[in-house]
Amino acid sequence: MGTSDYVLIFFKIVGSLALLIYGMKVMSEALQKMAGSQLRHILGAMTTNRFTGMLTGTFITCAVQSSSATTVMTVSFVNAGLLTLAQAISVIMGANIGTTLTAWIMSLGYSVDLTEFVFPAFLVGIVLIYTRRFRYVGDFLFGISFLFFSLVLLSGAGKALDLEHNPSVIHFFETFDMNSYLTIFTFLLIGTVITCVVQSSAAVMAITIMLCSSGVLPIYLGIALVMGENIGTTATANLAALGANTQARRTALAHLVFNVIGVVWVLLVFYPFVRTVCGFVNYDPDANALSTKELALRLPIILAAFHTSFNVLNTGILIWFIPQIEKLVCWLIKPGKVDAEDDFRLRFIQTGIMRTPELSVLEAQKEIESFAERIQRMFSMVPDLMKETDDAKFVKLYSRIEKYEGISDNMEIEIAKYLDEVGRAHLSDDTKLKIRAMLREISEIESIGDSCFNMARTISRLHQSKEDFTAQQYGHIHQMMQLTNDALTQMNTLFAGHREELDANLSFNIENEINNFRNQLRTQNINDINNHLYTYSVGTMYMDLIQECEKLGDYVVNVVEARMGVRQHVG
């Protein structure tokens, strides 16, 4: 073959790998859309101990066909405080088992001619995509068809290269001593580096299968590449954790430690272990007496079997040492500087590339819950400000409320930007509705912050005027603020639970109480001013506080309605 032929085949291989990565992405996202929020609930609920955590990681990775999605999601859950470090380690162990299904799918693509399946699947997929009810099934069919089609193209490119009859290639691999640990370690490093660069263990696995199937790459070296892929794939979670908190970075590092420990112990028993796996399909790795056709059938299965055996055994051993792994990563990554309560910092949303937009909605929802809790904390400062008589302490507390108002504005902007970024992805209708509701929630919560600051400014005016409310006015303000705080507490209770299990009527009842009390106090205020019980300016400031509480109650109800998915509140 000439140079132009090799260039053409090279681009065919690169294009096939690009198609494979895209197919995996489409298939994974389609599965996530079909699964919906169930994946988030499962990961949050089914991690009561190390074994359920491991099974959860396995199940989710099998479901979404992406260990990267599971590990990135797990890191974000730890960042959000939804999972402990120990729970997360068990989930990641399960993800390593779940990802072995991908290798079996690929071995099927190499062992069976799937051309007859692929084209009808494309046809059915495009029909389903244009139906409303089954479009995600259509996306899935397209994704898996792209995956299998890329494997067919890759296999064809491998055959076109005719590597098994290329003396220079054969000689190159023959220069490596199969019985040398240095050779095995070299190919392990190559597999690690390539996987880190391309950020897809599936693509590297496909190349490994292609080379082994041609008979050029000995099975020992192919398995060394697979071991390297296990280490290289941890780069995804570590990159995702760069902007996260200490525990999330420890989780990502635990993924690396887990795989490195597994590779180390397998290296110690490498040759007996490989021979045992090869024995499953009656293949002698040292004899290599099979024809190219037989190699193409058996070696993909051996690679998939090794991948599965390695991850299952590694998890079976290391699951008993989770506390020790936890201690190790805690020792390697020291606690960072603790953020002050009054500092602006998004706790749950991570910056950077979002690999799983469907699952990113959970991060945003948890951030909104944190936003709502912070706003209630801000409101609790208002009664304290009203009681404060010392000028220096008054100014300090007022400044703190003012700072919280700035934090509130920043949180609304940052969460909205994040939701806008998530919303640009190809999402399910249910997720699109959630994003709309969440945008409304943050707008109303920010308005609550504005009301709190407005009350603080009114109290500041009263403080500077040297006038004061009467004991009866203080009593009424205290009652109104207590009702308002009850409304905020109920709002945060609704955020903490599952929407299907919640009842918004309590929030509506509190708002009715606030409205009725406001109307009663407004009438009484006019009478008290006419009876000269206090000045008009004091009465105005008094009603400003009462009216602001009532407005705040309206904002709370609007948040609750957005959360519960009911019509917009009026009045």
pLDDT band at 555 (very low <50, low <70, confident <90, very high): very high
548 in Cβ contact with 482 (< 8 Å): no
Cα Dmax for the chain = 110
With 70 as the cut, is the pLDDT of residue 56 above it? Answer: yes
Q: Is the pLDDT at 571 greater than 50, yes or no?
A: no
Q: What is the pLDDT of residues 24-42, one digit of tens each?
A: 777 777 766 766 556 556 6
DSSP type of residue 48: S
Q: What is the pLDDT of residue 2?
A: 63
Task: Pick the range with the lowest mean pLDDT from 81-90, 95-104, 178-187, 340-349.
Answer: 340-349
Burial label for 330, CB within 10 Å (0-12, 13-18, 19+), is middle
Q: Are 69 and 356 in contact (CB under 8 A)?
A: yes
Q: What is the mean pLDDT of residues 119-132?
A: 84
- Which of these, 424, 433, 529, 512, lies nearest to 473 by C-alpha position? 529
Alpha-carbon separation of residue 23 from 13, 94, 150, 482, 521 (angstroms): 15, 23, 8, 56, 65
Site of tokens 């509701």: 437
Average pLDDT, the chain: 81
Higher pLDDT, 562 or 108: 562
Q: Distances in Å between the alpha carbon of 116 and those of 141, 165, 174, 297, 552?
A: 14, 29, 37, 18, 63
Predicted local confidence at residue 281, as pLDDT = 75
Residue 55 reports pLDDT greater than 90 = no
Specify whether the CB–CB gap between 106 and 305 falls below 8 A.
no
Q: What is the pLDDT of residue 175?
A: 76
Q: CA-CA distance, 133 to 136, in Å (whole number)?
A: 8
> What are the pLDDT digits (tens) for 434-467?
889 999 999 999 999 999 999 999 999 998 887 8
What's residue 4's pLDDT? 76
Cβ-contact 197, 252 below 8 angstroms: no
Six-digit token string for 478: 């205290």
CA 514 distance to own-chain centroid: 39
Closest CA to 325 of 259, 392, 373: 259
Residue 220 contacts residue 273 (beta carbons within 8 Å): no
